[in-house]
Structure 1
Amino acid sequence: MSVKNLDRHNRWRNKTVAFRVSPDEDREIETAVRLSGLTKQDYITRRLLCRDVVVQGNPRVYKALRNELAAVLEELERIEAGNGVDGELLDTIRLIAAIMDGMRED
C-alpha cells in the first residue's frame, strides 16, 4: 500500500490518474518536465488545470537546458548536412526559447 501524501494545501493526494501516450508524446512530455524543474506529477497537474508553469532556475534545470541545447545543436548540424527539419525539434526550440526569455525577465 502506498504512503498517503499531503500537498502544500493540506489536501490528501490519494487518487491515481493514468493515461496512455505515444512514444513521441512521451518524449515531448519528458522534455517539458525536465526543462520545467518540476516533478512530472506537478507539471502535468498544472498543465491540465490550466495553471502557469513557472520555471525556477536551479542546477537541474540548467543541466536540462544545456543538454537540450546540445541536442538542438546536433539536430541543426544534421539539417545543415541536407536533411529536413523535424517538427518536434521546432517545438523543443520554442519551449527552450520561452524558458530562456522568462529567465531573462527575472
Structure 2
Amino acid sequence: MSAKNLDSKGRFRARTIGFRVSPEEDQLINSAVALSGLTKQDYIVKRLLCRDVVVQGNPRVYKALKNQLAEVLGELRRIQNGSAVDDELLSTIQLITTTLNGLKGDRE
C-alpha cells in the first residue's frame, strides 16, 4: 500500500468522494482550509464528521490570515453603505475572528 493513501491512524484511503459547489462556496471552503492550516482533504473530512478543527499557529496560517484580512479590507473600502455587505464577506470575517481568537487563546 502507498503511504500517501494512509491516514494518520494507518487506515488505507481507497475511496474517493466528489461533489460540486458554486464559485462562492469554493472560495469560502478554500478560505476556511487556508485559515485552518490543514490540507483540504483533512479539513473536509473533519467538518463532515463533525469533528473539531484545531488550528495550530504556523507561518502558513499567519500568511493566510494576512491575505484574508487584506481581501476583507479591500471589500470594506469598496463598500460605501453598510447595507451592501454580502453574506460571504460576513462569513469570512467571522471565520477570521474565530481563528484569531483561538490563536490568541493558545498564547495566554
Structure 2 Cα separation of the partners of residues 50 and 62 of structure 1: 25
Aligned equivalent of 1:13: 13
Aligned equivalent of 2:101: 101
Structure 1 Cα separation of the partners of residues 55 and 69 of structure 2: 17
| 1:75 to partner: Cα distance | 0.9
1:72 aligns with 2:72: yes
Aligned equivalent of 1:25: 25
Structure 2 Cα separation of the partners of residues 86 and 78 of structure 1: 12
> Alpha-carbon deviations, 1:18-44, whole Å to 9, x = none?
111111111110110011110000000
Structure 2 Cα separation of the partners of residues 54 and 60 of structure 1: 14
Q: Which runs of 4+ in 1 moved over 6 A?
A: none
| 1:100 to partner: Cα distance | 0.5
Secondary structure of residue in 2 paired with 1:50:
coil
Structure 2 Cα separation of the partners of residues 74 and 97 of structure 1: 17
Instruction: Please report the RMSD computed on the Cα atoms of aligned residues, expressed in angstroms.
Output: 1.3
Structure 2's unaligned 5+ residue stretches are none
Q: TM-score, normalised by structure 1?
A: 0.92
The alignment of Structure 1 onto Structure 2 pairs a total of residues equal to: 103
Q: TM-score, normalised by structure 2?
A: 0.90
Structure 2 Cα separation of the partners of residues 24 and 40 of structure 1: 16
More helix by share: 2
Structure 1's unaligned 5+ residue stretches are none
Identity %: 64
Higher RCO, Cα 8 Å, sep 6+: 2
